Structure 1
Amino acid sequence: MSFRRTPHSFPQPSTSSASKNATKLSSLLQKSIPKPPQPPITFKPPTTNPLHCFDYMILLQPIPPISQFNQLLNSVPKSQLKIILFRKFNNTHLPISPNFITLNIVLNCYCHLNEVGFAFGVFGLILKKGFVPDSVTYTSLIQGLLKKNQIFEAVRLFRKMVLFGNVSYTNVSYTNVSYTYGTLISGLCRAGDIDTAIRLHEDVVHGKMGCLGFVCKPSGVCYSVLIDNLCKNGRVSKAKELFMEMRMRRISPDVVAFSSLIRGLCFMDLREAKRLFVEMVNEGVRPSVTVFNLLVHVLCKDRRLNEASGLFEFMVRKGEKLDSLSYNTLMHGYCLEGKIEEAKELYVSMVAKGIEPDVQIHNVLIDGYIKVRRVEEALRIFKQMVRGTIKPNVVTYNVLLTGVLQKGDVLTARKLFDEMPLYHLTPSLCTYNILLSGLCKNDRVSQALDLLQALESNGTELGIKVYNSVIDGLCKSGRMETAYDIYTKLSSKGLKPTVVTYTIMIHGFCKTGQVKKADSLFFEMIENKCAPNVVTFNAFMRKGSNMGPKVVELVKKAVERKVTPDASTLSLMVDLLSKDEKYKKYLDTLRTFLEVG
């Protein structure tokens, strides 16, 4: 007989009992198996808006440390927004408090916003919380005071910082305080108070601050700022003293210190300026091209062309890259001395080095040829220039017009003048003056008058110099009536006669024997408070042998109206009177009157 087990052979447990047992077993297994460490939950706000980021941060549990709030403040570029975040931080009453870094950030923001009063309020909070202000704190406050132009308060705060022992005597602190000191020095110089800056500098470096005799080693930047401002104020001797002090303290001068002192010496001691420049290059301090160009320019202006040329070659040997202005400056020096061939050689060498000559360099070369009366070569360079990519300017045409009119080539001058609009150039007052004066000097007075009338009809605003040129041409050609007619109409054109205008007319009347008109014009000149010059009095001296009393009377009238001739004019008058026995008796009268006047 077989025995078969059926499903009903054993009792079945209830469903609810089995479920409970399974749950217990699972719970026991989970407790017995160690869990792997879970990574920290990182919160990434879905926005870059600082205010929104702050709102998310205060919802986190636990609240992030104050360092993370400081990072948020530092990431905000605008000071005003940082202040808003700080106020919001205080208003939320979080279980964390701002630390020293937080307060320093806020203090600096208030200083940037020109709210120094609030900044000092934060400074008081720093002290109240027991924090010790550092150089960053003081530097921010000093910058804020300087922005408000409260110079005295800024200096006093720095002295208090040193006096109250807020500076520990360590190398790090020296560096930090040097930065604060440098900030104050720069601010004082920007405010134009160079004297206070110098006094502060001397107190600091000579240990005259603080109860322990605080000594600070200023940086090279501080010295450079002081030297630069001293030179700009014409105090080059004091700047030299500071420069020597740098040397003694083994502080290497930078390009600013060298350049500033060289700039100042250029107008006081050119030899010393040149020596200092060479010293700078030899020490490996790369000079600015601007300073080099200035030095070359001053040497050329002082007629020391050989020294300027030697300095130029020195820079080339040192491998320094010079710009087109460097070549322009030396070329101009050569042209002033009439050394046009040397100028042309320099031009060729510049092109060979790949430096593209501009219109200013061409103008210098053209002007150089004009000055040595080589007009054809000047025109050749001009044509070569316009065939290329360089467009002439008004100066180019002014130089060429001067040259061709000096040569008497009126036709070429008119052609040059007429082609100016092709290059979109508008003639300047100088252009009209050159052309009208040139026409008059070449006996083309009628053409000059026609051109003048055409310009007036077109509404071209002409200056007094233009009219002076035409009046001069008319006077020299004996056309005094026309000259006087133009003179009388000047006021209707809004122009006031100058000493040149009066002198031209007076000389013309004297030359044509119209002495009474010359006298009348002279008194009109005095009435209009226009001081006569040497040429004016010289014209009167030559108009007759009985002018001794008249000269004394004219000077008397001039002084009575507070229009006193200058020293050179009076010297010439005395010389002229002394040369003739008939005039000597008037000298004492003239001297006595001038002493009284």
Structure 2
Amino acid sequence: MGIAAKSSNSLAFIFRVRLPFHAFTYSTSNSGSRDYVQNPNQNRNQFLQSVRDVCKARAFRNLDHALHLFDTMLHLRPLPSIDYFNHMLGAIARMKHYSEVITLIREMESSGISLDVYTLSVLINCFCHLNRVGFGFSVLARILKLGYQPDCITLNTLVKGLCLQGNLGGAVSVVFDSIREKKGYKPDVITYGTMINSLCKVGETGAAIRLLRKMEKGNFELDVVLYNTIIHSLCKDRLVTEALNLKSEMMSNGIQPDVVTYTCLIQGLCNFGRWKEATSLFKEMEQKKIMPDVHTFSILVDTLCKEGMLTEAKEVFDVMIQKGIEPDVVTYSSLIDGYCMQNKIDDAVKAFNMMIERGCLPNVFSYNTLINGYCKNKKIDDAMRLFHEMSNKGMIPDVVTYSTLIGGFCRVERPQAALEFFYRMRAYGQHPDLQTYAILLDGLCKNKRFDEAMTLFQEMEDNKLHPDIVIYCILIDGFFNAGKLTTARELFYSLPTKGLQPTVPTYNIMIKGLCQEGLIDEASELLEKMDENSCSPNDRTYNRIIQGLLQHNESSKAMKYLQIMVDKGFSANATTVAMLFDLLSSNQVDNNIQEFFQNPVQDVADSCRTGAATNLILGLALGYKSVIIPIFATSIAIYLSFSLAAMYGIFVSALGMLSTIGGIAEVAGMSHEICERTDALDAAGNTTAAIGKGFAIGSATRVSLTLFGAFVSRASIKTVDVFTPKWRLLLGVLAGSLVSGAQAGGNLHAKALGPKGSDAHKAAFIGDTI
């Protein structure tokens, strides 16, 4: 098309006026309607039929081809019927040239062509796709004014347009208020499906489910697509159990799940680490002859790799290839990442090379995954080789690539190279994010480059890239480790002025640093302030304050925090336990320590003085002793049950007689209030009567057993009597076992423990036995 034509098109777009197509130079070579277009009036029927065929087959080469045919139709005399124009408009709309369709419809009206309901419905569709739903409603008003009855397709188009705008309230109003009540419009499956899809997209899964229930009551024919939409949304909302229940409900309604259903559920289960259930669903797919797709396999491979189950992940990967499903770049990247997480860098490289050999081109994410593996294994040269390979292949490294390599340089103690790479990153147009700064600052602090770290920190603030709490934690920890107490304090106490709230890790770093500097009182005060600031201490907090107190011989305070830690359900870590044992083995044990470590802990410690064998014996002793209370409680329960059995039977019989009290009150004409009370008793009586029937059946069974027992006795059959319940004998057996258990436990306990305070006992604490 020439320059003049392009200029004309630009003017037409500005003024929303389309110039006649015969104003342009156009070639109709290789067109199925070429002969007819050259002289359409002589071959009118053939031309119109060819236009209809092209529209149905969607065989337009481009928009210009379609516009040329439309322009030719518009100049035919007499004008073709509206049906031919509608075919053309629908075809151009399917090509997503909505603005052109609106312009063409205006030309039709200018040429005196009367629009029908289909034409106006196409116009509504175009307005809705252009996010101009208000114009769509104007066209709807015109339809009604002309006396046409809009069909479901027209109104579904408006509902979809409102949903695309996020105006779900308007969509509901159209469906349930103005249209259905006043114009007789009945929503169909497409209407509800459109609204359910839109509700799920905006996170209103509960409303989508309520709409599904409304469809069930309305006897709509539900399909798997509707259920899949809600199942996918439930999984996104982390409601996987509810999604599984919906899948069971769907199957009970005779709708079989498809690959999309299973893939959504497997993804949801894997996100929660419920990989066993995910693999069960995968096997269920195979049993139902539903072929998993590449996405399903990729999810399983990725999850198994993250769980550290590389062997199983590789088996799934191999099955995938055996079934003829070619892994994509996501599958390979997940496998490579799994190998890298377990430091199997050679296997990761093999998987990377296999991906290339099988014709799957790696992307930036694939390269980043392998580069990260190299950096973790301190193979920075190999990582840089991959970086250059990316660039040579025309790939643009992203911020993750640069951040990973910066971390790799810091890991091998090359902070200067990390800084140079950081500035190179910015020179190439990649803007570092907070994580990039965090990685570099952490590397500089660990390599004692504090001046560069503070310069970089200041640069962040100058560039209006506000540091987050992670950045401050890195700097505070780094300055504490370098003995720069004043700087670390200033950074911590400046957090409120920066609009940041200290987190538990922030307090832990401060408490550890203050304890290292011997500022125990300040560390204790900071711990007390944590609860005031709605920041509850965790096990690391208590372990660090206890360790600091023990290091500075503050055993009384240490025991106080140890008791608090235990009361909150936290456990001492290995370092804290070792320090406590060191304190116990010294001669500086005060009363607080002795009171805290009472008999249970002392016994375990004493039993270790001669090795592991006596410790095992003590374990057996405690096992025997642990059954004393349960056996005693069980014996009492048996005694009470059999002793009060008769009373229980009388009570049940009396309660069962209440089954007629409601009828008696009603016949007697009692007041409404009395009848309400007797109805409740009547219900209880009926329930008890039903239970009584159960007792009757049980009694019949007992009678038959008694008769059989009498026969055995009369026939002098030598057998064990299991027909007469000897519950007192059972109590005796339990009591005997209780006594023997207590005696055995005591004996073993005595064997396991030696005299406390003996030389051997002290030697056990000093040595490595405990």
Give the TM bin, normalised by the shorter chain: 0.5 to 0.7
1:296 alignment counterpart: 266
2:76 alignment counterpart: 53
- Decide which of 222, 235, 241 is 1:271's aligned counterpart: 241
**Could you tell me which amino acid in structure 1 is paired with residue 324 of structure 2?**
G
2:193 alignment counterpart: 224
Q: Offset of 1:199 from its aligned partner?
A: 5.7
* In structure 2, C-alpha distance between the alignment counterparts of 1:329 and 1:310, rounded to whole Å: 14
- Pairwise mapping of residues 304-343 of structure 1 onto structure 2 (< 5 A)? 304-343=274-313
Change (3 A) 1:156 1:185: farther
Change (3 A) 1:156 1:292: farther
* In structure 2, C-alpha distance between the alignment counterparts of 1:151 and 1:145, rounded to whole Å: 12
Q: Offset of 1:388 from its aligned partner?
A: 4.2
- Decide which of 227, 232, 253 is 1:258's aligned counterpart: 227
**Could you tell me which amino acid in structure 1 is paired with residue 204 of structure 2?**
R
Q: Offset of 1:434 from its aligned partner?
A: 2.2
Q: Offset of 1:498 from its aligned partner?
A: 3.7
* In structure 1, C-alpha distance between the alignment counterparts of 2:83 and 2:421, rounded to whole Å: 75
2:210 alignment counterpart: 241
- Decide which of 116, 130, 133 is 1:147's aligned counterpart: 133
- Pairwise mapping of residues 120-159 of structure 1 onto structure 2 (< 5 A)? 147-148=133-134
2:470 alignment counterpart: 500
Q: Offset of 1:365 from its aligned partner?
A: 0.5
Change (3 A) 1:407 1:145: closer
1:194 aligns with 2:130: no
Q: Offset of 1:332 from its aligned partner?
A: 0.9
1:135 alignment counterpart: none
Q: Offset of 1:335 from its aligned partner?
A: 1.3
1:543 aligns with 2:510: no
- Decide which of 330, 337, 340 is 1:367's aligned counterpart: 337
- Pairwise mapping of residues 518-597 of structure 1 onto structure 2 (< 5 A)? 518-544=488-514, 545-546=518-519, 567-568=534-535
Which whole-Å deviations, capped at 9, do the CAs of 1:398-434 have from their partners, x for residues lacking one? Answer: 3223333333444544444444434333433322322
Is the CA contact 1:537–1:573 (under 8 Å) kept in the aligned structure 2?
no
* In structure 1, C-alpha distance between the alignment counterparts of 2:258 and 2:510, rounded to whole Å: 54
Q: Offset of 1:367 from its aligned partner?
A: 0.9
Is the CA contact 1:305–1:333 (under 8 Å) kept in the aligned structure 2?
yes
Which whole-Å deviations, capped at 9, do the CAs of 1:235-292 have from their partners, x for residues lacking one? Answer: 3334333323433443221243122221232226423423444665787867675554
* In structure 1, C-alpha distance between the alignment counterparts of 2:363 and 2:437, rounded to whole Å: 24
Specify the SS of the correspondent of 2:76. Answer: helix
Change (3 A) 1:306 1:75: closer
**Could you tell me which amino acid in structure 2 is paired with residue 219 of structure 1?**
D
Higher share in helix: 2
1:209 aligns with 2:170: no
- Decide which of 409, 412, 424 is 1:439's aligned counterpart: 409
Q: Offset of 1:457 from its aligned partner?
A: 7.6
Is the CA contact 2:332–2:355 (under 8 Å) kept in the aligned structure 1?
yes
Specify the SS of the correspondent of 1:365. Answer: helix
Which whole-Å deviations, capped at 9, do the CAs of 1:93-134 have from their partners, x for residues lacking one? Answer: xxxxxxxxx7552x76577668xxxxxxxxxxxxxxxxxxxx
* In structure 2, C-alpha distance between the alignment counterparts of 1:87 and 1:459, rounded to whole Å: 53
- Pairwise mapping of residues 372-383 of structure 1 onto structure 2 (< 5 A)? 372-383=342-353
Q: Offset of 1:313 from its aligned partner?
A: 2.7
* In structure 2, C-alpha distance between the alignment counterparts of 1:576 and 1:531, rounded to whole Å: 23
* In structure 1, C-alpha distance between the alignment counterparts of 2:142 and 2:111, rounded to whole Å: 34
Change (3 A) 1:548 1:44: same
Is the CA contact 1:185–1:222 (under 8 Å) kept in the aligned structure 2?
yes
TM-score by length of 2: 0.51
* In structure 1, C-alpha distance between the alignment counterparts of 2:487 and 2:126, rounded to whole Å: 74
* In structure 2, C-alpha distance between the alignment counterparts of 1:193 and 1:284, rounded to whole Å: 34
Q: Percent of pairs identical after alignment?
A: 27
Which whole-Å deviations, capped at 9, do the CAs of 1:115-174 have from their partners, x for residues lacking one? Answer: xxxxxxxxxxxxxxxxxxxxxxxx99999998326869979998x99xxxx99xxxxx9x
* In structure 2, C-alpha distance between the alignment counterparts of 1:456 and 1:232, rounded to whole Å: 37
Q: Structure 2: 5+ residue runs without aligned partners?
A: 1-39, 48-71, 90-100, 550-555, 561-770
Moved more, 374-383 or 182-191: 182-191
Q: Tell me the matched-pair count.
A: 472
Q: Structure 1: 5+ residue runs without aligned partners?
A: 1-42, 58-67, 90-101, 115-138, 168-172, 559-563, 585-597
Change (3 A) 1:365 1:332: same
Change (3 A) 1:185 1:491: closer
**Could you tell me which amino acid in structure 1 is paired with residue 243 of structure 2?**
A
**Could you tell me which amino acid in structure 2 is paired with residue 148 of structure 1?**
G
**Could you tell me which amino acid in structure 2 is paired with residue 337 of structure 1?**
E
* In structure 2, C-alpha distance between the alignment counterparts of 1:459 and 1:201, rounded to whole Å: 51
Which whole-Å deviations, capped at 9, do the CAs of 1:342-391 have from their partners, x for residues lacking one? Answer: 11111111112222222221110111122233222222222333344333
Change (3 A) 1:151 1:204: closer
Is the CA contact 1:406–1:438 (under 8 Å) kept in the aligned structure 2?
yes
**Could you tell me which amino acid in structure 2 is paired with residue 466 of structure 1?**
T
Q: Offset of 1:514 from its aligned partner?
A: 1.8
* In structure 1, C-alpha distance between the alignment counterparts of 2:447 and 2:130, rounded to whole Å: 71
Is the CA contact 2:199–2:208 (under 8 Å) kept in the aligned structure 1?
yes
Specify the SS of the correspondent of 1:225. Answer: helix
1:484 alignment counterpart: 454
Q: Offset of 1:301 from its aligned partner?
A: 0.8
